[in-house]
Amino acid sequence: MVRRILEAVADFDGRIGGGKLSQILAGGKSADLTGRGFHRNRHFGRLEHLKQTKIMDYLKSLERNGYLGRIERGDFPCLELTPGGFEVLNGHAKAKIDLPEPRGERREHREKPAYPSPSPARTRDDDGEGSLFDALRKLRKQMADERGVPAFAVFSNATLTELAERKPQTVAEAQEIPGIGPVKAETVLPRFLDLIRGRN
């Protein structure tokens, strides 16, 4: 269940908020969803056995525990995977989920959310991963400025982190990273691959 949620977040690549995503996963019947074609999305109804409120509880828990992050897009925040979320999605870690207690049993004081330590790709310099991430981020900003779009429209932070950690050498290898689909593989990815290859 958790991996289905993370897969959906990765596929939308920072372009959807929690409320809308929970409607899609629950298979909502609103005119807004069908009017915007979300009923044809491959994630539509994948968690239809759950109520939308329960899916929101999962999303909030994943965010509290550092598997999901928020980015500002227009007037509302959207969701993206964090490095910790990618670890769970790729089967390298198990997610910690803390759902709300049943009504009447809720604690008066809730613990503050615990977030995982920063990704090695952003902080480590001994093997070049940190500097590679910085270089990828600079390239993203340059391409975003050239196109007149926000930086996350090129690649999300989570995708940059995966690129820095995996260092893919081919398009096929890069497309194994969530957030890199056929369109971005053709229009955005080549310059990032050139940068990565040049660092080897």
Q: For residue 169, what pLDDT is reported?
A: 93
Model-level pTM?
Answer: 0.53
CATH fold of 120-199 reads DNA polymerase; domain 1 (1.10.150)
Residue 39, SS3? helix
Q: How is residue 55 annotated by DSSP? A: H
Angstrom distance (rounded) from CA 133 to CA 136:
5
- Domain range list for the chain: 2-89, 120-199
User: What are the tens digits of pLDDT across the range 31-79?
Assistant: 888 888 888 888 889 999 999 999 999 998 898 888 888 877 666 778 8
pLDDT score for 1:
84
Q: Does the domain made of 2-89 have the CATH classification 3.90.420.10?
A: no
Helices (H), the chain: 2-12, 18-26, 31-35, 52-64, 83-89, 120-123, 129-147, 157-166, 171-174, 182-187, 189-199
